[in-house]
Each structure stands twice: as C-alpha cells, then as structure tokens.
Chains A and B, each alone.
Chain A
Amino acid sequence: MISLSDLGTISEIIVSALLVIGGFFTLVGSIGLLKLDNSMSRLHAPTKASTLGVGSLLMASMVYAFAAGDGSLHEVLVMAFLFVTAPISGNFIAKANMHRLRNKPDLPPPPPPPDHVWSTYSEK
C-alpha cells in the first residue's frame, strides 16, 4: 500500500486536483437536486454528477494507479458502462415525469407535429 505522499509531486497535484473537481461537480449535482423547483429540471442535476463528477474521480483513481506503478484501466470500463446506462435511467425517470405532468398546466409536453402522440402516451 502506497500513501499519496509517496507519489511524485506532479502526480500528487494532478490526483488532488481531479479529486477536488470530481467532488465539486458531485456536490453541485446534489445542490441542484435540492434547489431546482420542478421535477423535470431536477432530473438535470444527477446527469451532471454522473458524467464529469464521477468521470474525474475515476481519472484520479487511474492517475494514482499509474503513478504508484500499478497501472489499472478498470476505470475506463466503469466510465464506459456508466455513460451507456446513465441516459437509460434518466430516460425512464423523464417518462415517469411525463405521466405525472399529463393533463396538467405546468409544462405539459407539446404534441409532436401532425396528429401523433408521444410514445409514452400511446394507447397502442
């Protein structure tokens, strides 16, 4: 086990900076979740936390592993799976929201051009 101070100064700075950036964006994501006032806007906050927030935490982990001489690319996989799955869960929450907003005056989704409906509302 190597502690952070055993790394070179440069990689120490890079790892720390990445950790701070990741922490900052994850925090902003949580603040957004609390602060924003309608359910659709609130959905925007977690998409940030999961992209740049987790992304730079994983980068920090990767730089640390390589600087410690025990390089690991598992983080690339974590990032790839996260980027593929995050939009799917976001999409499901958005659809649940659309059902809640249906027939309500606050931000109803506009109907698409000629007499079609959004597939969430489809009766078929």
Chain B
Amino acid sequence: MLSRLLPHPLLTILLSLVWCLLVNEIKLGTVVFGVILGLLIPIATAAYWPDRPMFSRPWKMIGYMVLVLWDILVANVVVAMIVLFKSNKNMRPQWVVIPLDLRKPEAITMLAGTITLTPGTVSADLSEDGRTLLVHALDADDPDAVRDDIKQRYERRIKEIFE
C-alpha cells in the first residue's frame, strides 16, 4: 500500500526540493504544492520505472558528491596547466579501457557522467554487453594507472551506493 502511494520516496523529495528552488522562496504554500507535485508525478510515471529500489545507501551520495566536486576543482587546475603550458607534441592522449564491476544501468550512467565531468577524462562508449567502458584521457603516461584510479576512487563508491 505504501509503495503504491510512494513508489519513489527519493524522487518525491527531489521533486519537492526542485519545485521550491524553482519558485525561489520558502513559504508554506510553495512547500505544500511542491510536496503535492512530488507525490503525484512519481505515481503518474511509475509505469516507466520498472525497478523500484534504485539506491541501497542513498546517504552515501552526499559524500560522493562532495568528493566529485573537490576532484573537479583539482583536476580543472591540473588540466588548465596542461592546456596552457604543454605543447601538443608532448601530450599523450590515450584510450583507456575500463572493465566494469557495476551492472545496474543507473550506476554505470553515474560513473560515466562522473568521468566526463572530471576534466582530463571523457567517457566515450560502452561495449555491446555493457561490461566495459571506453574512456579517453587527455594526457596520460600510463593508461593502467588511470583505469585503477577510476576504479578505486569512483566505481567502488558508486557500488556502495547502489548495491
């Protein structure tokens, strides 16, 4: 019964929050209407979300986002230095192949998004069976080190959030 009324509790919270941010004021009316939207939209779209529990440890998401934001900050400076001061001849663009431990499509999407957002790496494609990710690195001496870094730093944490 509860899962009928609240098919996606996290989506409800997210939608209410986005509504309050859109209206850009915190009044009782706004919050109430946000919660109503947050309750109705998941019910209306429930048919398109076949697998219900997407996250198993959603609270770890906050720590992960802080980590990613910090990495974006650091990596931006590093890559800016590469772009400004390294000649094209000395640059070593590489393709990196990452075998994935993640299986859920949402988890892989999040990993691929993280890889693209952190400067210096762009995720390009997934293999046909969805078990290998192709990543392009702007300047890497050792593709294996990039692969291990991504697996250690991001994939392990995403696995904790989703599985």
Contact = CB atoms under 8 A, between A and B. Distances in A.
Interface in A25-47: 25, 28, 31-32, 35-38, 40-41, 43-45, 47
B129 interface: yes
A86 interface: yes
Contact of A36 (B88, B126, B129): B88
A63 to B, nearest CB: 16
B132 A40 contact: no
How many B residues touch the partner, as a band?
35 or more
B34 interface: no
B125 A95 contact: yes
Interface of B: 18, 21-22, 24, 72-73, 76, 79-80, 83-84, 88, 91, 93, 95, 97, 99, 112-113, 115-117, 119-120, 122-132, 134, 136, 138
Interface of A: 24-25, 28, 31-32, 35-38, 40-41, 43-45, 47-48, 51-52, 55, 72-74, 76-77, 83-84, 86-87, 90-91, 94-95, 97-98, 107, 109-110, 112-113, 116-120, 122, 124
